[in-house]
């Protein structure tokens, strides 16, 4: 069974940093591109970032480029999101999602971890 | 990277059919046959319902179907059931290794 379990969320002050993790199991993690998607309270889904299988290539939404870094450790079956210079509008539930075979869609999602940026 | 436009809400009675629209631009929906649709129940993770425009993952009811015309994609739910009450989001590849989601539609079963 495919499982994605996020962790690392919490309350952080504006300007602070946080690192999210997503532990994957039940599939060959190193064979799949992975993404982060976020959802502000009561709002819609917003794509954040993607990393390729080996971690070589990454891409980001304009709103987080230069502040967030996506990475992965295939030996630990874990996806990461390093978030720096956090702002109030980064407050959201952050989901990791697997990009499905054939690409361009998200076929499995974790349950999410809540990040709250507040003083 | 502006969000795709969806109606805020759509409702229907059990057994009826409803359609949710998803309007983008010639840079995303109109340029790729790569629209997907997700269902999200309150407090839950999204679930993939449609991918690559019209394909259903294994286990998804054939009551869910999708299409596209120009810059607008559509999701149709036939034979509406109480369990279909949820939020629905479209998503499109937008080029340059970026993706864009829709604004979301709340489906209510009357």
Tens-digit pLDDT profile for chain A (119 aa)?
A: 999 999 999 999 999 999 999 999 999 999 999 999 999 999 999 999 999 999 999 999 999 999 999 999 999 999 999 999 999 999 999 999 999 988 899 999 999 999 999 99
Disruptive mutation site among A2, A43, A44 for chain B (greatest number of B CBs within 10 Å): A44
Nearest CA-CA distance, residue B8 and chain A, Å = 11
Taking CB atoms and an 8 Å limit, are A45 and B57 in contact across chains?
A: no
Disruptive mutation site among B5, B24, B29, B46 for chain A (greatest number of A CBs within 10 Å): B46
Q: Report the pLDDT averaged over residues B62-79.
A: 97
Q: What percent of chain B has pLDDT over 70?
A: 100
Strands B86-93 and B64-69: unpaired
Judging contacts by C-beta atoms under 8 Å, the chain B residues touching residue A34 are none
The Cα B21–Cα B10 span in angstroms is: 10
The Cα B71–Cα B15 span in angstroms is: 29
Question: Residue B1 pLDDT > 80, yes or no?
Answer: no
**pLDDT score at A52:** 97
Q: What percent of chain B has pLDDT over 90?
A: 99
Cβ neighbours for B26, distance < 8 A, ≥ 6 positions apart: B71
């Amino acid at each position: 069974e495919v499982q994605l379990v996020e962790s690392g969320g919490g309350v952080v002050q504006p300007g602070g940093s946080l690192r999210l993790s997503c532990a994957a199991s039940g599939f060959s993690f190193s064979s799949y591109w992975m993404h982060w998607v976020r959802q502000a309270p009561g709002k819609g889904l917003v794509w954040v970032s993607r990393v390729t299988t080996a971690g070589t290539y990454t891409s980001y939404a304009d709103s987080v480029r230069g502040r967030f870094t996506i990475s992965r450790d295939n030996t630990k079956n874990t996806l990461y999101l390093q978030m720096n210079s956090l702002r109030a509008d980064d407050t959201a539930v952050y989901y990791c999602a697997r990009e499905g075979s054939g690409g361009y869609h998200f076929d499995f999602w974790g349950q999410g971890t809540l990040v709250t940026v507040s003083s | 990277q502006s969000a795709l436009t969806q109606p805020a809400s759509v409702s229907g009675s059990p057994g009826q059919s409803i359609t949710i629209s998803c309007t983008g631009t010639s840079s995303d929906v109109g340029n790729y046959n790569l629209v997907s649709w997700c269902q999200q129940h309150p407090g839950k993770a999204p679930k993939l319902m449609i991918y690559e425009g019209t394909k259903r993952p294994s286990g998804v009811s054939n009551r869910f179907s999708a299409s596209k015309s120009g810059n607008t994609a559509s999701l149709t739910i036939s034979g509406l059931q109480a369990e279909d009450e949820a939020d629905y989001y479209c998503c499109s590849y937008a080029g340059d290794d970026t993706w864009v989601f829709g604004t979301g539609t709340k489906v209510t079963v009357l």
